[in-house]
Amino acid sequence: MSNVSFVMVMINFILIASLPFIIFRRDGSFNLRWCITALPFLVAVLVLIFGFVEVLTSLSVSSLKLFELTQISAAILSIASIGLIASTIHVHKFKPALWHQVNDQPQELVTWGPYKNIRHPFYSAFILAFCASLCLFPHYLLLGCFVYSSLVLTFTAKREETRLTQVFGRQYQCYMSTTGRFIPKRLL
């Protein structure tokens, strides 16, 4: 495992872990739904640390060239995730709701910056972080974290979209028709 790529991936997960304290409103709580969503992030970090100190071994990579490519890919994906998180934080005029709350009504509909193309750029960044971790350290536990978090984030995004449609009505429906949930529509 490359030291530089490991540091990049860990910085990415540390940034993700700090988001509830940096950007989100403080009127929420870390309830069961939030914990269920956060669980694969904790597991991924532990797997990466255990892989780095060689307590766990990764799935074998067939060649040195492929290994180097996966390590570089891990760093690039982490940088992309960090950049997406930073640009998403930057566009919010008001602190967004810590989703999974009863009172998580949004104060505004953000459709600029990363939201111009993606309805859930934070979740897209989280998925990129899991992709980076899989490139860095291919392991069944990380694959499980990726699949689990993708399913939970999709479920959460659908729930948020239902609530946003109730709050913003036709405006949000039009926005949904022009943007992708996690990937820009023009790439689909």
What digits encode the pLDDT tens for the residues 137-172? 999 999 999 999 999 999 989 988 998 898 899 999
pLDDT higher than threshold 90 for residue 103: no
Stretch 36-55: mean pLDDT: 93
Q: What are phi and psi of 100, to 5 degrees?
A: 80, 20
Task: Find, among 175, 38, 41, 37, the residue nearest to 118 by Cα.
Answer: 175
Q: How far are the Cα atoms of 2, 15, 122 from residue 81, in angstroms, in the given order?
A: 18, 10, 9
Higher pLDDT, 157 or 26: 157
pLDDT higher than threshold 90 for residue 88: yes
Whole-number pLDDT of residue 131: 97
What interhelical angle do 64-91 and 3-22 show, nearest 10?
Answer: 20
Domains of the chain (ranges plus CATH)?
3-187 (1.20.120.1630)
Q: What are phi and psi of 152, to 5 degrees?
A: -65, -40
Q: What are phi and psi of 180, to 5 degrees?
A: -90, 155
Whole-number pLDDT of residue 150: 96
- Non-local (6+) Cβ contacts of 74 within 8 A are 2, 5, 8, 9, 132, 133, 135, 136
**pTM surpassing 0.75?**
yes
- Residues of the chain with pLDDT > 70: what percent? 90
Whole-number pLDDT of residue 37: 86
